[in-house]
Chains A and B, each alone.
Chain A
Amino acid sequence: MTPPPNSLIGISYYSLIIISYLVDIYRGICKPQKNIFKFALFMSYFPILTSGPFIRYENIKDDLYGKHKFNHKALCNGLIRILWGLFKILVISQRLEIFVDTVYGHLNWYQGFFTIVAMIFFTLQLYTNFSGSIDIIMGISEILGIKLPENFNLPFFSKTITEFWRRWHITLGAWLRDYVFYPLQKSNSIQKLYQDCKEKIGKKAAKKIALYVSMFVMWLFIGIWHGGSYTFIIGSGILQFIYIVLEDLLGKVAEKVNHKLKIDTTTFGYKLYQVIRTFLLFSFAMIFFRADDMIHAIQIIQNIFVWNPWVLFDGTSLYSANLEMADFNVLIISLIILFGVELISRKGDVREKLAKQNIVFRWIILYALIFTVIIFGCYGAEYNPAAFIYGQF
């Protein structure tokens, strides 16, 4: 996926940042910056221009304009975070991309379980690429002494799509909540709709309708922000809206069914089912996000229903999609490492935990990570330069 040739780098990011700046001044949350150089520094803070996260003037101004001293710990932590980001992008995401591009680029050759694996791989590719680029941005900022808001919080541990979006691209979600959803909810049109519906269908249902209309506008906005084509509008907008509405509407029904069937929803097994369900629903939506156009997306979905599970087990087929066995092994091991680290990070910053280990263990881990990136990273003459997927928006 490459950005359109004549798009301005980061336009989607600094457009929304300047909107939030102006609105916050209007709302009295912050005062305007009158020094043009300081303002320019805020607007052109280089690490975030390609992939975010979205910053708010009020939250970042002290770090941007304050005095900075050399901080050895911040330097080390920042470099570790950059390294982790490079691991995600160069070792994992770039390998996933090879498989996904091959399968989605040759729909007549690769069908059935190839398509299912590619669907799952694309979600992982998107995550490792996007969160990896955010890790690099956060790392650079940490070294510079600038604290940015986190953009991810272990999204694949989410049990519902609603929860997923609270953990994925967090700063975009927060921006939309503060500058689209809440203003819309309070707008005269929505209030009028609420009043009209309340008289006809009751207070509770009217509240839901007003909520869903606001949500629909917000998700439409997300789809348009991602690129405006039908695939983006459906994949990252409408489908997500439908999932969330269905979760809301069917939540009570599911509770009743579980109660009747005496399903214990507190067990690990049930939670795992919820996590996998959420992952697969999101992955399905991402077919549209990745597809070249609607026809391509429909062909991909049709391909899912071809029955060929043997390709997973015959020992050769899976490696025919330009990702040979050695690379596949590196990929699987790297994904296990990623999963392990994310699991540990649920109980606190992994770097802090690492810092508490003795120096030999700590350095072995760091050298292993550095040389994993250097040796197994997909960069150089045989690969396209690593592009940030979210750099195109």
Chain B
Amino acid sequence: MKNFIKTIVFLIIFGILFLYIRSILWIDKNPFSYFYEEPKNTLDVVYIGASNVYQSFNTSLAYELYGYKTGLASTGDQMLPATTYILEEIRKYQEPKLYIIDLEKMADDTGEFVEEDIRRITDVIPFNQNRINLLKRLLEIKQVSKEEAINYYFSFNLYHNRWKELEETNFNETKWYKGYPLNEVNIGVNPQREYKWIDELEELPEETKKYFVELLDYCKENKLNVLFVIPQRPYKPGLNRRLNTEVEMIKQYGYDVINFNTLNDFSSDVKSEYMDLVHLNVYGATKHTIYFGRYLKEHYNLENVDKNDESWKSEYKRFKENFRNYTKKDFDEVLNQYLTEI
């Protein structure tokens, strides 16, 4: 009996240590990781899509200004075939009043993604049947062999080797604030060119159409309240035209679309509010959050019952402090200036 108890204690300590080490060595946190950190059924909005989502919408700022909580089920280069599975995953943990789906990557060829794009999603999702199904689909599309596939299902095989890449942030404070990032890159400015939206249509690739219809059907069947978004950025003409085709399809299903490239009353400044070709910097994101956040508040009944959630308040405070550390500027001044302009 004594040995049995000792063995159990040994295994429990091992389990605790293993989980701690796993959390350090695991794939760097991304906004989707923070989605899972929110208590069950506390989010009002879940915003889905590629990197443009988390680079443009400051969730703790939206909570501060408008009082609703937004979760970001967003990962870099998130692909269309994964979207229904991500929605399925969200619905296990949250009952948001609104789902926002960013269309930026939803009109590409469905096979245009790499291993990292898969891992950013599936290595965040806890081990469950939905994750297995999602992996099965994505690995089939990428024609990954069975031998290689095992490394996607059991990713510690890969991540244990990250001990060489560990940094202070792996152990201490993160550079994410409820899914929104603040770092050396997105405080910078990288002037971009103006883009004029084309109104023409182009047929979707067969596979893209299949997965997009699947997504719309899923939303409809599950009676999800969805808003689709086309972010402001320069597009290749073909992608622009295919997005127009998707907008037509979305309207047939009775959903709304907001295209930030064609708004009369709002536009991001391409000279000062971009960090690279497609992503807003922290100033652009602040302006975008003020406008889009207000739009959402005015059009949807989103207000959260918990208006003084300390975890959201403290993240906003931490964001402001670090904004000052990075830029030597007071965020409230930046915010107030935008608030008077918009």
Q: Which residues of A contact B (CB under 8 A)?
A: 72, 324, 326-327, 359, 363, 366-367, 370-371, 374-382
Contacts and interface: CB of A to CB of B under 8 A. Distances in A.
Nearest to A359: B6
Interface in B153-194: 156-158, 160-161, 163-164
**Size category, B interface:** 10 to 19
Contacts of B6: 359
A363 B13 contact: yes
A32 B81 CA distance: 65
Given A374-B160, A380-B161, A382-B161, A367 B17 contact: yes
A375 B21 contact: yes
Contact of A367 (B3, B13, B148, B161): B13
Given A363-B10, A380-B151, A371 B21 contact: yes
Interface of B is mostly: helix
A381 B158 contact: yes
Contacts of A375: 21, 25, 160, 163
B14 A381 contact: no
13 contacts: A326-B163, A326-B164, A367-B13, A370-B14, A371-B21, A374-B160, A375-B25, A375-B163, A377-B160, A380-B151, A381-B148, A381-B158, A382-B158
A371 B3 CA distance: 22
Nearest to B152: A381
Contacts of B14: 367, 370
Contacts of B148: 381
A272 B10 CA distance: 41
B195 interface: no
Contacts of A324: 164
B18 interface: yes
Contacts of A381: 148, 151, 157-158
B39 to A, nearest CB: 31
A377 B18 CA distance: 15
Nearest to A73: B3
A324 B163 CA distance: 13
Shortest Cβ-Cβ A-B pairs, 5 listed: A380-B157, A381-B151, A326-B164, A72-B3, A381-B158
Interface of B: 3, 6, 10, 13-14, 17-18, 21, 25, 148, 151, 156-158, 160-161, 163-164
Contacts of A382: 158, 161
Contacts of A327: 164
A29 to B, nearest CB: 39
B109 to A, nearest CB: 26
B241 to A, nearest CB: 39
A391 to B, nearest CB: 19
B314 to A, nearest CB: 32
Nearest to A330: B163
A375 B20 CA distance: 12
A5 B177 CA distance: 54
A371 B161 contact: no
B157 A379 contact: yes
B163 A371 contact: no
Contacts of A371: 17-18, 21
B214 to A, nearest CB: 30
A76 to B, nearest CB: 9
A94 to B, nearest CB: 11
Contacts of A359: 6
Given A363-B10, A366-B10, 13 more contacts: A326-B163, A363-B13, A367-B13, A367-B14, A374-B18, A374-B21, A374-B160, A375-B25, A380-B160, A380-B161, A381-B151, A381-B158, A382-B161
Nearest to A370: B14
A105 to B, nearest CB: 22
Contacts of B157: 379-381
A86 to B, nearest CB: 13
A379 B14 CA distance: 20
Nearest to A366: B10
Contacts of A376: 163
A72 B8 CA distance: 13
Contacts of B158: 380-382
Contacts of B13: 363, 367
A90 B121 CA distance: 29
A379 B13 CA distance: 24
Nearest to B3: A72
B122 to A, nearest CB: 14
A371 B160 CA distance: 10
Nearest to B159: A380
Contacts of B161: 378, 380, 382
Contacts of B164: 324, 326-327
